């Protein structure tokens, strides 16, 4: 059902706390007292502890598993292997991407860290003791480490479990118009190309993944407390995978210590814990260690991209070609819309009026952990945004046009919205030039360019990097979007109590985004009930409406819309009740937040609280009692938040170390429900961008050993390295969203890496450097400088 | 081994194996789940507690080492039944999102303010550089701690003062 | 994630501790800060049968420069060195190195002597002590011996210490004449091990020439490396930029870095040169100001 936007709602005073107020968070009260309720805090009577044994190498046949000694250790209740699961048809499970994935390995292990066996014990220390006693004999196989190796003819077959699979191809996908793009390239004066690897990263929320699985043998009820960003979808999948009746499954996602996409997939650990609880008849807790989290759960990115941008001599963009290979690991296990194998990568034309584009992508299986879509990527928009912004920056150098000027010349103009891109996206609204200009003015761009010139004369390296991104979020309309077949609507159930308080239940699930605070503000805005009188519930599938969960910045665009719509429906009903109380016709009533009054007679009024009470005590003839409803919102389109980031760096030419002197971030996410929370989201994303650009990645040696499976190797910046951010805003509402909001959760993670990297490249561009892949470590900067000074070609 | 540990002012006596980590003792044996576990290389700091007033990573201390000593966890930050200035600062300045690093950040902030009542931004960044946060990008955590510093000084009627911090590394460039 | 079982003792006196080490020496580990040992035990890379917790032993947490040495006792925490006026006045290499060690929370428990005894090849303190000509004092039931730092570490995670010996202090000589020094560390973030670390220490004579030079490097060899040739080349020389450049080259030649994710061997050698130069320049400046 489509909903056209209403005129903007009246703003509310602080006492009501509707949209636009930087309301302090209600969640904070429990968190600052250490009373958060995370999965590992949950203790149930009779609960057991599970630990998982994992493969030490990347590719090997399992010859034998001997669990006798482990099972005999006092305190061990069960040892689970793939063979045991296979007896219950649970050794393999479907993934959210339509593939299959091993729960516990039976024939082979296909990545270092893969789950091989599990111990359930009375005490977590004993469980880990027992892991040491499991004896597994492996027969090493040649590891396939890179996607290039995987796709080469004659490569060892990784997925020999899949019937009909003869190579390591995972998927192929294409978007855009090849003929039109070829024609555009034929006309070009200049073609700029870039080969870049967006390295493997990992969301690594500070709370690792885990669950407490409680299958009650007496009642047949399965309650699974789990770190889940999408509890309803998980419930349905559990029903399908475990064969448990869905009405007997309750997924409870309590407080989540960060998600960032890491808690969307269903991991083998959850399934094994549930199976163990079912078989043993007691609750089983499994909480993974950090090493397990990094080595086996859903990683992010790992896209090898070749991009070409065609332009005229005076900088008009004509066409874009992209050829990509994605490294998906051993199973295609991430969550993305079925129709889009490369996620929403084809947003790669970005903020520019690019008439022609063609994207070809190939996915490969490798002997590495499964994943790819995660870490605030908006379904691969991080990769796309990075590529186009790096290409545009390099094009500026090639053409001798200032990088800001080149962008301004090619931005989609305000009058072009809604804008249909060369790959079929319909951008809802945007005002790119104003945003970039504001950022440039704030950073003092022209004076910085002068300073850069002067500094170069002194041998100092100062760089200014720009990234002007357009995001696409809010998945999504039923025509194009489903995950594992389930359409990507979202829901809101609102009930107003007789005393005028309300409860809102959502299909989305916060992991720190503050929904308990912000979604109450949406209702407060529509109904005039003070936000503090509205409780928001999420995460328990037994008492929330079905939703697709929180990731890809979809909560505000979809769940927020559902909330506004149902609140308005309740207001419509409230008007009928008010009319009854005021003995007037409904069309003669006016509304201000929290109150109906008779037009022309402002003293003849009733509050929303009066109405709520009356809904139960004095409903009008023919009108159902109560004041509640549920709405499932099918978004008519995606939303397109955007922004421009400007980063100023200085590089120590002797060591290659660089630091951020300034970071100015202009974001436009449409209407901001809670500006304080929006800014917090941006701070977090800008930090993630800094992390990826400077230090944070997972890599592998030639044997497929994971380098980056702990925090000594996988580097998360501390407060000492992290730059300070200056935030700016413009507000360009989404015309199709009920409250004009677009969502903000991932913008900064999407847009900022290119800004940081462009800044470093910009500092070195005059020396001929055109690319350094992330993470841009001091060693890589130095190597790039060496490469150009030794004349061995561009960096 | 029998140990006696004072936690948030209350004495607890338990029999624990030497290998039980202090984090585990607090969470599983005493049921104080405000202290969290986040990594296995002593890197992330979400397990930080105060040991005789000094921040330590409780995942890298055995419970038996705390025998006879005094621990403060997040549950002990409240003063006279009210949230402390640091706790209020985190709420006021949006210093938390998912809340997982927050107990540790608040304890480190509290310990900082004990020895440096008016920390600069750099002082705070340095003090919390052993504690990771994934959500906030740190800016509001710093604001929260500085807000608390101001609250505490105001409450104590102290004038503004700057303490020069000597514990940051000397950056040397060419 | 959780260590294997072990026995635990927390002796109240040094004699008691030495008794236990004397009896159970092999496969017993001393627990001071534990910030290096406990992580290894949690990953089960170390599985000692017993831990001897020395934290209750009085008289081991001294920092004293009243005689010819800067003496740092076995229970001195890294952060105590950071905030110590005595250290700051006596030896800047030590003073400047302390804030670079690990992170501020770990520094509250980790000890200088424990770090030296642990002999992590990427540990910072060993380079500092090598550059400053330090000595380790080790005690066993039957007596005490002094081990020059140059002989103390024998291999990766291995020292000369016998199973029944305990390090009670490390001591750095106070040099006659104006001295200065520093520690430079290239780390990607707080808490990272060094990509390259360089400790420098210089003492000048009345005429301003170098009479003592210490240069030692972290993370560019199997263990910390003392750049002996570079040091020798500086003796008697004026502390000039050319002298520092030359020393940097010699130090880089003495290093044996590996290619890894932190950087290529060539890069690390280059950073050695840069840091030796900068470190010596700072040392000279501080010495002249002393």
- Residue C270: list chain A partners with CB under 8 A: 782
CATH architecture of B2-74: Roll (3.10)
C92's enclosing H/E stretch is helix C92-97
pLDDT confidence of residue C26:
83
A564: confidence class by pLDDT, cuts 50, 70, 90: very high
For B129, the closest of C10, C104, C109 (CB atoms) is C104
The answer to whether B18 contacts C108, with C-beta atoms less than 8 Å apart, is no
Residue of C nearest to A786 (CA): C267
d(CA C199, CA C217): 6
Give the pair of three-digit tokens for residue A361. 């992508």
d(CA A575, CA A590): 9
3-state secondary structure of A633: strand
Q: Tell me what the pLDDT averaged over chain B comes to.
A: 92
For A695, the closest of C103, C188, C193 (CB atoms) is C188
The answer to whether C188 contacts A777, with C-beta atoms less than 8 Å apart, is yes
Task: Output the CA angle A439-A440-A442, nearest 5 degrees.
Answer: 65
- Residue C186: list chain A partners with CB under 8 A: 655, 657, 778
Q: Do residues A277 and A215 touch, judged by C-beta distance below 8 A?
A: yes
Mean pLDDT of A671-675: 97
Question: pLDDT digits over A318-349, tens only?
Answer: 999 999 999 999 999 988 899 999 999 999 99
The answer to whether B169 contacts C96, with C-beta atoms less than 8 Å apart, is yes
Q: Do residues C74 and C87 touch, judged by C-beta distance below 8 A?
A: no
A530-557: burial string, b at 16+ Cβ within 10 Å, e else? bbebbebebbbbeebbbbbbbbbbbbbb
Q: Tell me, what DSSP letter sits at residue B63?
A: G
Q: Do residues B3 and B67 touch, judged by C-beta distance below 8 A?
A: yes
Residues of chain C above pLDDT 90, percent: 98
d(CA A375, CA A696): 12
CB pairs under 8 A between A and B: 178
* Distance from the C63 Cα atom to the nearest Cα atom in chain A, whole angstroms: 29
d(CA A488, CA A557): 12
A244: confidence class by pLDDT, cuts 50, 70, 90: confident
d(CA A109, CA A131): 17
A724: confidence class by pLDDT, cuts 50, 70, 90: very high
pLDDT confidence of residue A791:
67
All domains in chain A, ordered by first residue: 28-36+490-633 (3.30.365.10), 39-141+208-256+263-296 (3.90.1170.50), 386-471+638-789 (3.30.365.10)
pTM over 0.90: yes
Give yes or no for residue B164 having a pLDDT over 50: no
Q: Which of A5-14, A102-111, A235-244, A316-325 has the lowest mean pLDDT?
A: A5-14
Nearest to B125 by CA among B142, B110, B113, B108: B142
Give every CB contact of residue A155 below 8 A, 6+ residues apart in sequence: A144, A149, A167, A168
The answer to whether A707 contacts C263, with C-beta atoms less than 8 Å apart, is no
d(CA A531, CA A251): 27
Mutate to test the interface with B, among C105, C273, C286 (most CBs of B within 10 A): C105
- Strands B48-51 and B70-72, bridge-based pairing: antiparallel
Question: pLDDT digits over B77-87, tens only?
Answer: 998 889 999 99
Give the pair of three-digit tokens for residue A746. 């991932």
d(CA C221, CA C120): 11
Q: Do residues A195 and A305 touch, judged by C-beta distance below 8 A?
A: yes
- Residue C190: list chain A partners with CB under 8 A: 718, 720-721
Nearest to A367 by CA among A201, A168, A197: A168
Interface chains of chain A (3 or more CB pairs under 8 Å):
B, C
d(CA A202, CA A714): 9
Give yes or no for residue B162 having a pLDDT over 50: no
CATH 3.40.50.300 for the B85-155 domain, yes or no? no
The answer to whether A712 contacts C192, with C-beta atoms less than 8 Å apart, is yes
Residue of A nearest to C188 (CA): A695
3-state secondary structure of A87: helix
How many angstroms separate the first and last alpha carbons of chain C?
49
3-state secondary structure of B108: helix
CB pairs under 8 A between B and C: 104
For B127, the closest of C2, C10, C104 (CB atoms) is C104
User: What is the pLDDT tens value at each position of chain C, 290 positions in all?
Assistant: 999 999 999 999 999 999 999 998 788 999 999 999 999 999 999 999 999 999 999 999 999 999 999 999 999 999 999 999 999 999 999 999 999 999 999 999 999 999 999 999 999 999 999 999 999 999 999 999 999 999 999 999 999 999 999 999 999 999 999 999 999 999 999 999 999 999 999 999 999 999 999 999 999 999 999 999 999 999 999 999 999 999 999 999 999 999 999 999 999 999 999 999 999 999 999 999 98
Residues A64/A68/A74/A76 CA torsion (nearest 10 deg): 50
DSSP character string of A377-418: -TTTHHHHHHHHHHHHHHHHHHHT--HHHHHHHHBPPGGG-S
The answer to whether B97 contacts A514, with C-beta atoms less than 8 Å apart, is yes
Q: Tell me what the pLDDT averaged over chain A comes to.
A: 96
Give every CB contact of residue A47 below 8 A, 6+ residues apart in sequence: A212, A282, A283, A284, A285
Q: Tell me the ipTM for this assembly.
A: 0.96
pLDDT confidence of residue C144:
97
Q: Which of A270-274, A302-306, A372-376, A613-617 has the lowest mean pLDDT?
A: A372-376
| Residues of A labelled as active-site residues | 229, 376-377, 746
pLDDT confidence of residue C172:
98
Give the pair of three-digit tokens for residue A220. 């047949």
pLDDT confidence of residue B171:
44
Q: Tell me, what DSSP letter sits at residue C219?
A: S
Strand partners, A53: A117
d(CA B138, CA C213): 42
d(CA C81, CA C86): 9
Residue of C nearest to A292 (CA): C1
Question: pLDDT digits over A396-432, tens only?
Answer: 999 999 999 999 999 999 999 999 999 999 999 999 9
pLDDT confidence of residue B169:
53
**CB count, 10 Å around CB of A712?**
16
* Distance from the B174 Cα atom to the nearest Cα atom in chain C, whole angstroms: 6
Give the pair of three-digit tokens for residue A593. 């937040």
Residue of A nearest to B105 (CA): A32
**Burial group, residue B157, by CB count within 10 angstroms (0-12, 13-18, 19+):** exposed
Question: What phi and psi, each to the nearest 5 degrees, are found at residue A492?
Answer: -145, 130
Strand partners, A632: A491
Give yes or no for residue B170 having a pLDDT over 50: no
- Residue A128: list chain C partners with CB under 8 A: 1-2
């Amino acid at each position: 059902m489509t909903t056209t936007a209403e005129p903007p709602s009246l703003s509310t005073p602080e006492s009501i706390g509707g949209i636009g107020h930087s309301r302090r968070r209600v969640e904070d009260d429990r968190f600052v007292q250490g009373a958060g309720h995370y999965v590992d805090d949950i203790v149930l009577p009779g609960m057991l502890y599970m630990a998982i044994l994992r493969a030490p190498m990347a590719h090997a046949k399992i010859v034998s598993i001997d669990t006798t000694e482990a099972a005999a250790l006092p305190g061990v209740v069960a040892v689970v292997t793939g063979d045991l699961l296979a007896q219950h048809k649970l050794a393999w499970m479907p993934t959210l991407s339509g593939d299959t994935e091993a729960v516990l390995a039976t024939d082979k292990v296909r990545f270092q860290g893969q789950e091989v066996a599990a111990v359930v014990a009375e005490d977590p220390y004993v469980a880990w003791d027992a892991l040491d006693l499991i004896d597994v004999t492996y027969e090493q196989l040649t590891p396939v480490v890179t996607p290039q190796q995987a796709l080469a003819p004659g490569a060892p077959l990784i997925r020999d479990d899949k019937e009909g699979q003869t190579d390591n191809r995972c998927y192929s996908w294409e978007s855009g118009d090849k003929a039109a793009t070829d024609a555009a390239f034929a006309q070009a004066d200049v073609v700029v190309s870039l080969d870049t690897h967006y390295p493997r990263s990992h969301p690594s929320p500070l709370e690792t993944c885990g669950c407490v699985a409680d299958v009650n043998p007496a009642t047949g009820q399965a309650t699974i407390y789990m770190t889940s960003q999408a509890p309803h979808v998980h419930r349905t999948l559990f029903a399908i995978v475990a064969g448990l009746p869905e009405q007997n499954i309750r997924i409870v996602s309590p407080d989540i210590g960060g998600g960032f996409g890491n808690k969307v997939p269903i991991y083998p650990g959850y399934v094994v814990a549930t199976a163990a609880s079912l078989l043993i008849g007691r609750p089983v807790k499994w909480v993974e260690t950090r090493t397990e989290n990094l080595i086996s759960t859903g990683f992010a990115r790992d896209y090898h991209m070749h991009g070409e941008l065609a332009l005229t001599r005076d900088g008009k963009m004509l066409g874009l070609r992209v050829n990509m290979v994605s490294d998906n690991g051993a199973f295609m296990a991430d969550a993305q819309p079925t129709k889009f194998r490369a996620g929403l990568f084809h947003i790669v034309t970005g903020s520019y009026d690019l008439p022609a584009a063609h994207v070809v992508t190939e996915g490969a299986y490798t002997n590495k952990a499964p994943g790819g879509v995660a870490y605030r990527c908006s379904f691969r928009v991080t990769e796309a945004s990075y590529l186009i912004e790096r290409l545009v920056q390099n094009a500026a150098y090639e053409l001798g046009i200032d990088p800001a000027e080149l962008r301004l010349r090619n931005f989609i103009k305000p009058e072009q919205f809604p804008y249909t891109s060369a790959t079929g996206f319909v951008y809802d609204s945007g005002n790119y030039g104003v945003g970039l200009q504001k950022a440039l003015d704030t950073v003092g761009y022209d004076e910085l360019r002068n300073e850069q010139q002067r500094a170069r004369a002194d041998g100092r390296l100062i760089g200014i990097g720009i990234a002007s991104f357009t995001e696409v979020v809010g998945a999504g309309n039923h025509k194009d979007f489903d995950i594992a077949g389930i359409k990507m609507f979202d829901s809101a159930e609102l009930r107003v109590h007789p005393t005028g308080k309300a409860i809102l239940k959502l299909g989305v699930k916060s992991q720190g985004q503050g929904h308990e605070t912000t979604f109450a503000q949406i209702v407060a805005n529509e109904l005039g009930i003070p936000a503090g009188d509205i409780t928001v519930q999420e995460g328990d599938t037994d008492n929330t409406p079905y939703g697709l969960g929180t990731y890809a910045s979809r909560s505000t665009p979809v769940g927020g819309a559902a909330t506004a719509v149902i609140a308005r429906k309740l207001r419509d009903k409230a008007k009928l009740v008010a009319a009854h109380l005021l003995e007037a016709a409904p069309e003669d009533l006016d509304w201000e937040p929290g109150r109906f009054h008779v037009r022309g007679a402002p003293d003849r009024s009733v509050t929303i609280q009066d109405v709520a009470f009356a809904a139960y005590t004095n409903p009008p003839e023919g009108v159902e009692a109560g004041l509640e409803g549920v709405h499932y919102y099918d978004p008519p389109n995606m939303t397109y938040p955007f922004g421009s980031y400007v980063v100023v760096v200085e590089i120590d030419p002797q060591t290659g170390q660089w630091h951020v002197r300034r970071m100015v971030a202009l974001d436009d996410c449409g209407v901001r429900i809670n500006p304080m929370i929006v800014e917090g989201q941006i701070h977090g994303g800008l930090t993630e961008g800094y992390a990826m650009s400077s230090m944070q990645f997972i890599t592998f040696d030639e044997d497929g050993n994971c380098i980056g499976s702990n925090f000594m190797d996988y580097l998360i910046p501390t407060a000492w390295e992290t730059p300070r951010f200056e935030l700016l805003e413009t507000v360009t509402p989404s015309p199709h969203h009920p409250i004009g909001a677009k969502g903000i959760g991932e913008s900064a993670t999407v847009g900022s890496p290119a800004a940081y990297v462009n800044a470093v490249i910009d500092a070195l561009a005059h020396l001929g450097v055109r690319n350094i892949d992330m993470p841009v470590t001091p060693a890589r900067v130095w190597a790039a400088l060496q490469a150009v000074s030794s004349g061995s070609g561009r960096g | 081994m029998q140990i006696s540990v004072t936690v948030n002012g209350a004495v607890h006596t338990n029999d624990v194996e030497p290998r039980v980590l202090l984090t585990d003792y607090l969470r599983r044996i005493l049921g104080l789940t405000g202290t969290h576990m986040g990594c296995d290389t002593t890197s992330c700091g979400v397990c930080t507690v105060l040991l005789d007033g000094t921040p330590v990573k409780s995942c890298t201390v055995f419970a038996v080492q705390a025998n006879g000593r005094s621990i403060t966890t997040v549950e002990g930050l409240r003063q006279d039944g009210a949230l402390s200035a640091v706790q209020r600062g985190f709420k006021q300045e949006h210093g938390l999102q998912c809340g997982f690093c927050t107990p540790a950040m608040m304890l480190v902030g509290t310990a900082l303010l004990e020895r440096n009542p008016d920390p600069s931004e750099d002082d705070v960044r340095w003090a919390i550089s052993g504690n990771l946060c994934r959500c906030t990008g740190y800016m509001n955590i710093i604001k929260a701690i500085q807000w608390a510093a101001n609250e505490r000084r105001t409450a104590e009627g102290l004038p503004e003062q700057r303490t020069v911090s000597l514990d940051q590394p000397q950056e040397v460039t060419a | 994630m959780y260590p294997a079982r072990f026995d635990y003792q927390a002796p109240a006196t040094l004699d008691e501790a030495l008794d236990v080490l004397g009896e159970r020496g092999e496969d017993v580990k001393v627990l001071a800060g534990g910030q290096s040992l406990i992580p290894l035990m949690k990953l089960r890379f170390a599985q000692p049968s017993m831990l001897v917790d020395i934290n209750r032993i009085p008289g081991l947490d001294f920092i004293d420069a009243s005689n010819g040495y800067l003496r740092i006792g076995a229970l001195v925490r890294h952060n105590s060195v950071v905030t110590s006026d005595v250290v700051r006045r006596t030896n800047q290499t030590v003073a400047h190195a302390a804030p670079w060690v690990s992170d501020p929370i770990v520094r509250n428990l980790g000890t200088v002597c424990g770090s030296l005894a642990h002999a992590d090849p990427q540990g910072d303190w060993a380079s500092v002590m090598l550059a400053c000509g330090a000595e380790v004092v080790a005690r066993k039931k039957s007596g005490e011996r002094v081990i020059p730092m140059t002989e103390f570490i024998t291999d990766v995670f291995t020292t000369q210490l016998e199973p029944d010996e305990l390090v009670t202090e490390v001591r750095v000589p106070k040099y006659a004449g104006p001295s200065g020094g520093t520690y430079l560390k290239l780390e990607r973030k707080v808490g990272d091990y060094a990509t390259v670390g360089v400790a420098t220490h210089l003492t000048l004579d009345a005429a301003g020439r170098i009479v003592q030079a210490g240069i030692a490097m972290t993370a560019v060899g199997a263990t910390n490396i003392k750049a002996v040739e570079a040091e020798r080349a500086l003796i008697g020389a004026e502390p000039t930029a050319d002298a520092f450049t030359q020393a940097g080259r010699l130090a880089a030649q003495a290093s044996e870095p590996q290619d890894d994710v932190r950087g290529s061997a060539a890069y690390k050698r280059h950073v050695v040169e840069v840091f030796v130069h900068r470190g010596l320049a700072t040392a000279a400046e501080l010495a002249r100001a002393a």
